Homo-oligomer: A and B are copies of this chain.
Amino acid sequence: MSLLVVGSVAFDAVETPFGKRDRMLGGSASHFSISASFFTNVRVVAVVGGDFGAAEREVFSRHHIDTSDLEVIPDGETFQWHGRYEYDLNVAHTLDTRLNVFAGFQPKLSDASKKSRLVFLGNIQPDLQRAVRAQVPGAELVALDTMNLWIDTTRDSLQKTIEVVDLVIINDAEARQLSAEPNLTKAARKILSWGPGTLIVKRGEYGAAMFTRDGYFAIPAYPLEAVFDPTGAGDTFAGGLMGYLASHEKLDEAALRRAMIFGSVMASFNVEEFGTERVQRLTHEEINQRFSDFKRFTHFEEIPFEQKVSSSKSQISS
């Protein structure tokens, strides 16, 4: 049941119309691993600077996240991101990005990490993702996230990386840009033709959709009256999804469907407070409650329409 994530660990400064935080634990690997930790044990491959302290380590250890492969560069500084969201939280502005030690990140996997059964290649440069992929030849399922920056600047390398993974987890704008297809169903077919067996498309407030060679599954988002801070929602979704899968022996479509629900549940909690604050103090009861809500929100009885032969006559004469 081992799950590995390669990505960023960062300090985030976030401003929203509802408040701000100057420095909180962020980055794709942090959001992913804390979310996944509710379902399985996770190993993190990332890099931090000397400013990464006891408080941050304590968050990982409290969630039983294995940081043996968390590289520390003592005289460097950890990746810092500073962003601001507008009242419409879909509109985000990056105010400052300091890659710091992350600029030279060369993922190093221990022997134990190389034996991971499931691997999530967080949103990093596609060459690095592919280098990691090559080190986990025995992995049962390798998933990848990416972003518009890599589609713009390293498209060929990105496509090569997609060719060697099993699952792509991206948002709908990225799926359209990556495939140059405005229609999402066509976009999915094109991306799947490159190799992966499964594409999961995140659609924010509209939920998520899964495409396989001959299957389709879609879910709405959990309905929330207040979204506070969307930072990390995508990685939290992926963490819940991959974490749930890692807790399963059989990675079939039924498990993938439930994994998408658990991913959505985790993301729905993530956006309710700053950074990882809400997710950190979650309970399994709360998680299962929202999973059960999803069933309630989407269930309908499969009763086909039966034409009443007599209705036409009786109706017109009424």
**Count class of interface residues, chain A:** 35 or more
**A316 x B254 contact (CB < 8 A):** no
Q: In the complex, are the beta carbons of A41 and B316 less than 8 A apart? A: yes
Please pick, from B2, B182, B288, B300, the residue contacting A254 in the complex, using a CB distance under 8 A: B300
Given contacts A225-B186, A298-B218, contact A318 B2 (CB under 8 A): yes
Chain B residue contacts of A318, Cβ below 8 A = 2, 112, 115
A224: which B residues are within 8 A, CB to CB? 183, 185
Determine if B316 and A64 form an interchain contact, defined as CB atoms under 8 angstroms apart: yes
Say which one of A51-59, A155-163, A229-237, A306-314 lies at the interface with B.
A306-314
8 Å CB contact of A41 from B66, B185, B311: B311
Interface positions, chain A 190-228, Cβ under 8 Å from B, are 203, 205-207, 209, 216-220, 223-227
Residue A75 at the B interface, CB < 8 A? no
B-binding segment of A127-135, A139-147, A289-297: A289-297
A305 to B35: give the CA distance in the assembly, Å. Answer: 14
A and B contact pairs by CB, cutoff 8 A, 26 listed: A38-B305, A39-B305, A40-B315, A41-B312, A87-B182, A112-B318, A183-B224, A183-B226, A186-B225, A189-B225, A216-B223, A216-B297, A217-B300, A218-B223, A219-B298, A220-B220, A247-B305, A257-B299, A284-B307, A287-B305, A288-B304, A291-B304, A291-B305, A292-B302, A295-B300, A295-B302
Residues of chain B lying within 8 A (CB to CB) of residue A307: 284
| CB-contact partner of A206 in B39, B203, B295, B300, under 8 A | B203
Distance between A21 CB and nearest chain B CB, rounded to angstroms: 22
Is A70 part of the contact surface with B, judged by Cβ < 8 Å? no
Which residue, A225, A254, A258, A304, has most C-beta atoms of chain B within 10 A?
A304
Q: Shortest beta-carbon distance, A190 to chain B, in Å?
A: 11
Neighbouring B residues of A247 by C-beta, 8 Å: 305, 308, 311
Residues of B within 8 A of A103 (CB): none
Q: Which residues of A contact B (CB under 8 A)?
A: 1-2, 38-41, 64, 66, 87-88, 112, 115, 182-186, 189, 203, 205-207, 209, 216-220, 223-227, 244, 247, 254, 257-258, 261-262, 284, 287-288, 291-292, 295, 297-305, 307-308, 311-312, 315-316, 318
Copies of this chain, count: 2
Measured between C-beta atoms, what is the minimum distance from A72 to chain B in Å?
20
Of the residues B216, B284, B298, B302, contact of A305 by C-beta under 8 Å: B284
B residues in contact with A2, CB < 8 Å:
315, 318
Picked from B203, B205, B226, the residue with its CB within 8 Å of the CB of A184 is B205
Q: What residues of B have a CB within 8 angstroms of the CB of A257 in the complex?
A: 299-301
Assembly CA distance A206 to B112 (angstroms): 42
Q: Are A300 and B185 in touch, CB under 8 angstroms? A: no
Q: A63: shortest Cβ distance to chain B, in Å?
A: 10
B residues within 8 A CB of A182?
Answer: 87-88
A247-B305, A305-B284, A318-B115 given as contacts; is B220 within 8 A of A219 (CB)? Answer: yes
Distance A262 CA – B39 CA, assembled complex (angstroms)? 37
